[in-house]
Amino acid sequence: MASPVAIKVSAELAESAREAAEAADRSLTGQIEHWAKIGRAAEAVMPVPVAAALKLSVGDIDAIQDESIRRRVIEALEALRTKQPGEIRKLIGLDKNPAFEPDPNNPDGIIRVDPDGTRTRGTLKRRTFVPSIS
């Protein structure tokens, strides 16, 4: 894992992230990283003018005045929506890190899926994955 780096963000972004983080049960840093990953995924399927229009719309696609750009934003988001999770992870450079999913056999458990496909059942303890002892 890379060393943490301090960055400055606007007070407005920090407050929005703080509110979203609380609702999603994430840390402030985790929320900003989440948004950054979504942004990376969106940019991977959108040309610059389309990504810029989406950014300026602040998620309100109907606010995009140019009909052709609005249509391109919708098409790009649809392309992103229909990609498989593995494709999205590869697009945004996360394919070298493990993924986590709920464990259907244990409501308190999760499954770590390593890049090689290895699946390990476990739980989170203080934000650290702890494999189950089988």
pTM for the structure as a whole = 0.53
Are 79 and 41 in the same domain?
Answer: yes
Are 45 and 82 in the same domain?
Answer: yes
Are 105 and 85 in the same domain?
Answer: no
Are 103 and 92 in the same domain?
Answer: no
Are 20 and 65 in the same domain?
Answer: yes
Strand partners of residue 130: 123
Q: Which domain holds residue 133?
A: 98-134
108 belongs to a structural domain: yes
2 belongs to a structural domain: no
Are 88 and 118 in the same domain?
Answer: no
Residues 17-30: tens digit of each pLDDT:
999 988 888 889 88
The tally of domains found in the chain comes to 2
Query: What burial class does residue 73 get, using C-beta atoms within 10 Å of its C-beta: 0-12 exposed, 13-18 middle, 19+ buried?
Result: buried
Question: Can you tell me which residue has the tokens 């606007």?
Answer: 10
Residues 103-131: tens digit of each pLDDT:
999 888 999 988 788 899 999 888 789 99
Tokens (6 digits) for 71: 């249509």
18 belongs to a structural domain: yes
38 belongs to a structural domain: yes
Are 103 and 90 in the same domain?
Answer: no
1 belongs to a structural domain: no
Residues 31-66: tens digit of each pLDDT:
898 888 888 877 777 888 888 888 888 889 999 999
